[in-house]
Structure 1
């Protein structure tokens, strides 16, 4: 047998299953009456119906309960009038239905009385809550006035902070301008280095294609040149990475400086000192950039020396080719002079006699 908690949970599950089938509140309360009375054998009351459905006002379950009992009474009356039963059975059934109706009406009256009591209690609680809310509203008004006073003082402090921030913003703009100039110079030098590297690579390819015969002789020199170029490119790449890292560090440092400017004038002075250090770092990177430019110039000088050496080798090859061309006619004349001696008259060998001659 189910206890009260299990019975309540089962009825609640059945009512929840009926919510989609009966969206109207009155229909849902009517079906809830049928579930309680016919499925679980419980007498439906207004309070119990409202606890299960929790929809609409308290007048809706009361009206639904009234209609349920009216319909049940009408159905029972029709069945008794048309049933083929003895009179004694009809009389007993009518008395039973009357008793059920009386009990149901008594239960409904009791539920209505309980509902009225609970409504009165809720009304008293609402009045008490209203008084408490009015008191709380008065306290909130006082707190609002206090908050307005604090807001006025805070606005004055904010105005002062804005003035300090404008001074810091001017310093920041100057720093941004210096950074922009440094970035422009770095980009220009980077483009120059890349163009020089591309020019060197193109020149090396041309020389290699033209001097195919002397490639084996100068392969070591070419490898050393390529190694030097790769070293310079690596140095330039490292320098670029250092500049990018310093740029990111400078950006984050500027954000930190902006926050410190808003805090106090003392932090602003410290930021100025740090900015001086950053300028020193920028000058140091400028020196590094100049050193990279000098190294690129040295690479260009090495490439020029290589071109001179290759030109000298070309001259030697041309001289050797001329010597070969001059010696070719002499060799031809010598071979022609020696050919008659080699092709002199041969001696005739005596003919052999055939057998029988």
Structure 2
């Protein structure tokens, strides 16, 4: 955003423009005298002219300044010529019109100074508004950075929870595979037991008529087999209980991970919503800042013009513009309205 130029900077810029427009030294000094006196209300001096232009010798601005004051005095004299008016009345009327013109010029200069003061006050207020907007923008950007950091941290935590959930899922799958293996082992042992009992029954039918000793051995073998089966069943029951407990723990851990993931997702949504709200505030502040910059640019580009001095000579009968000069000089209210219109 460009700041409003100071009066000295604006004067220097206008003088640089005049240097490019008037390459001749005497013409340049004459234009700078008119710029200082009529536009900026500054009484030109030879030293000030030389410091601003820095061309030629010190005698050049002195000579040009003398010509400027002579021409200004000649142009400020108003002559009223009428065939029916005596010479003394013509002189008095001319002095009266000159006095009116001088007072109107003074009033116009006063109005211009008041307008300049008002513009300076508005510029100061605009600058303070720009500073406040910049501070608010910095605060909002800091808050946005904090929210962004919190959002990134939440995303990292969500990824860690997802990783832990994947590990729990893999562990559960491993436990389920182990359970299937144990079940397959139990089924194989049950089938083996059924086959053994069927073979034993066949042998028992064949040896039913055997001796008492063989029967006792058979009974002892059956008893040992039953004890072994009971031990296997107890081990299988214990294994089944351990497996159920492991599955229950895995399901509980999976549910905990799922609840934590849902909580972090909700927090992530809130953080995104807050980031969107802060972005909206930031856009509004930027729009207000742009509007202030446009107002400052308009104020900087407004020209401050002073009424031009025109002579009243005997050639006014052939030039219709000289009559309009006398009428404009006698209307200070019209000059004030024109000054206000140019400022707006």
TM over 0.5: no
If asked which structure has higher relative contact order (CA below 8 Å, sep 6+), I would say 2
TM-score, normalized by length of structure 2? Answer: 0.36
TM-score normalised according to structure 1 size: 0.35
